[in-house]
């Protein structure tokens, strides 16, 4: 078996703020293999973005601090690299696209210049060759009249086009890993579908691995091979997409799928395209949680859950969950599904 391309290993990243310590990432482990698409899901604030930004060391420090763990890319721990070494990797080997392109595009540079910059920096192209390649990239991501658009500024483009420009920028140097943090959330449904088609097509052409952060379970089913479910700064379940939808083993995952059994009610399991609302609120990451962080919202909770924290365990090949009641969850889901 080949080693994974990226391995996040027991990562802890905390924010030291005036109001206390925020345990944004609290012992997260996941990996991505070359050419694979891994989806990361979970409610707002559970640490998806901060974990992904850690890979590129984009988390501001202070207040952020890597407390422990490793992030190995092709075997090298990225947390040991200095900023000059990180800059060599960014855009060239690992690149990232964000939810809101305006925050990562430079408003005073033409799009051609911005795509070209990474090529000049990482591939030593001259300005002219870089601009020519920028036109090619714009064509590749489906922007009409690329020769004209390449000379325009971000504000002259529509939201969907800016997202395409960001994808063009991210893919210009054929990175081995693309991190896409809710790349389509800000776009309307038709454009969303086009961007996802584009990512899929580019993935098969360029062969990049993708970490796809999303709130959309439809997108997970369509795009990813494996899924990591996060809750309160931790991974609570991991499985292949097929396994996760067919045999979820964590009550939180059931909740996201809209099939959480509330006390006294029966299971309903028609996975909605968006993550379902779960009753109750996410816990504050400022306090140490003694037991399972999901206990106050969990219909399966027992007395043990309040005092002991469940570790993540492999319950079937490739299927991990952090829940004392995982077998009961799986059995109830299976019964309701039959
Ligand atoms: N600079 C910061 N200082 C203090 N806390 C921060 C900082 N950046 C992020 N956090 C906290 O870290 C936690 C994880 O945030 P993160 O952005 O990773 O969530 P997320 O899962 O990506 O949520 P969303 O789905 O809303 O994007 C949150 O509680 C957030 O408030
Ligand atoms: S460990 Fe207990 S509280 Fe936590 S998810 Fe499982 S059953 Fe619910
Ligand atoms: Mg986020």
Domain with residue 20: its CATH number is 3.40.50.300
Same domain? For 30 and 161 the reply is yes
Same domain? For 269 and 170 the reply is no
Of 224, 242, 276, which closes a domain? 224
Of 224, 259, 278, which closes a domain? 224
Same domain? For 152 and 86 the reply is yes
Same domain? For 43 and 181 the reply is yes
Same domain? For 162 and 272 the reply is no
Best substitution site from 230, 234, 295 to test ligand 2's pocket, by max atoms within 8 Å of Cβ?
295
Contact (Cβ atoms closer than 8 angstroms) between residue 325 and residue 302: yes
Rounded Cα distance between 237 and 252, Å, is 9
Concatenated DSSP letters of 199-263: HHHHHHHH--EEEEE-SBHHHHHHH-SEEEEEETTEEEEEEEHHHHHHS--SHHHHHHTT----T
From the CA of 60, give the closest atom in ligand 1.
Answer: 1
Q: Which pLDDT belongs to residue 272?
A: 42
Residue ranges around ligand 2 (CB below 6 Å): 250-251, 292, 294-295, 298, 300-301, 305, 310, 323-325
Q: Specify the pairing of strand 76-77 against strand 6-17.
A: unpaired
Who contacts 30 (Cβ-Cβ below 8 Å, separation ≥6)?
A: 8, 38, 40, 228, 235, 238
Same domain? For 198 and 278 the reply is no
Same domain? For 218 and 285 the reply is no
The CB of 228 under 6 Å from ligand 1? The reply is no
Within 13 A of 321's CA, how many CA atoms are on the CB side?
A: 24
Question: In whole angstroms, how far apart are CA 284 and each of 43, 65, 164, 206, 251?
Answer: 13, 18, 36, 41, 19
Name the strand (E) or helix (H) holding 171: helix 159-171
Q: Has residue 125 been placed in a domain?
A: yes
Rounded Cα distance between 115 and 164, Å, is 11
Same domain? For 64 and 191 the reply is yes
Same domain? For 133 and 212 the reply is yes
Best substitution site from 260, 294, 320 to test ligand 2's pocket, by max atoms within 8 Å of Cβ?
294
Q: Has residue 103 been placed in a domain?
A: yes
Best substitution site from 22, 43, 277 to test ligand 1's pocket, by max atoms within 8 Å of Cβ?
22
Q: Which pLDDT belongs to residue 271?
A: 41
Same domain? For 209 and 298 the reply is no
Q: Which pLDDT belongs to residue 173?
A: 86
What's the DSSP call for residue 306?
Answer: G
Q: Which pLDDT belongs to residue 277?
A: 74
Q: Has residue 267 been placed in a domain?
A: yes
Q: Has residue 229 been placed in a domain?
A: no
Same domain? For 293 and 205 the reply is no
What's the DSSP call for residue 295?
Answer: G
The CB of 50 under 6 Å from ligand 1? The reply is yes
Q: Has residue 231 been placed in a domain?
A: no
* Residue 294 domain boundaries: 250-337
Of 189, 224, 259, which closes a domain? 224
The CB of 22 under 6 Å from ligand 1? The reply is yes
Q: Has residue 230 been placed in a domain?
A: no
**What domain count does the chain have?**
2
Same domain? For 203 and 300 the reply is no
The CB of 90 under 6 Å from ligand 1? The reply is no
Q: What does pTM read for this prediction?
A: 0.91
Rounded Cα distance between 62 and 281, Å, is 28
Q: Has residue 85 been placed in a domain?
A: yes
From the CA of 329, give the closest atom in ligand 2.
Answer: 7
Q: What is the mean pLDDT of each run of 10 residues along the chain (338 residues)?
A: 88 95 96 96 94 95 96 97 94 87 85 92 91 91 93 93 89 90 81 83 84 89 95 97 94 81 37 64 87 95 96 97 96 85
Q: Has residue 241 been placed in a domain?
A: no
Tell me how crowded residue 270 is: count the other CB atoms within 10 A of its CB: 8
């Amino acid at each position: 078996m080949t080693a994974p391309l990226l391995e996040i290993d027991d990562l802890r990243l905390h924010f030291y703020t005036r109001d206390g310590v925020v345990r944004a990432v609290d012992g997260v482990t996941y990996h991505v293999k070359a050419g694979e698409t891994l989806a990361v899901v979970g409610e707002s604030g559970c640490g998806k973005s901060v974990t992904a930004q850690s890979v590129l060391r984009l988390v501001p420090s202070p207040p952020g601090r890597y407390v422990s763990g490793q992030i190995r890319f092709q075997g090298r721990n990225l947390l040991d690299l200095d900023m000059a070494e990180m800059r060599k990797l960014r855009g060239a080997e690992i690149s990232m696209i964000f939810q809101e392109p305006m925050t990562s595009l430079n408003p005073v540079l033409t799009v051609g210049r911005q795509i070209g910059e990474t090529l000049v920096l990482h591939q030593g192209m001259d300005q002219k060759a870089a601009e020519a390649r920028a036109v090619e990239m714009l064509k590749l991501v489906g922007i009409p009249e690329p020769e004209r658009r390449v000379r325009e500024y971000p504000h002259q483009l529509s939201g969907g086009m800016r997202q395409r420009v960001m994808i063009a920028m991210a893919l210009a140097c054929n990175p081995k890993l693309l991190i896409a943090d809710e790349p389509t959330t800000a776009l309307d449904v038709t454009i969303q579908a086009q961007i996802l088609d584009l990512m899929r097509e580019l993935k098969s052409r360029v062969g990049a691995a993708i970490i796809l952060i999303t709130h959309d379970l439809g997108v997970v089913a369509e795009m990813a091979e494996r899924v990591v479910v996060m809750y309160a700064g931790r991974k609570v379940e991991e499985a292949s997409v097929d396994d996760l939808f067919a045999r979820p083993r964590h009550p939180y995952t059931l909740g996201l799928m809209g099939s959480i059994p509330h006390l006294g009610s029966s299971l309903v399991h028609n996975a909605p395209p968006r993550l379902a609302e779960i009753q109750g609120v996410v816990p504050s990451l400022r306090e140490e949680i003694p037991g399972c962080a999901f206990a106050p919202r969990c219909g399966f909770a027992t007395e043990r859950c309040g005092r002991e924290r469940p570790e993540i365990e492999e319950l079937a090949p490739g299927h991990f969950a952090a829940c004392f009641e995982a077998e009961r969850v799986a059995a109830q889901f299976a019964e309701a599904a039959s």
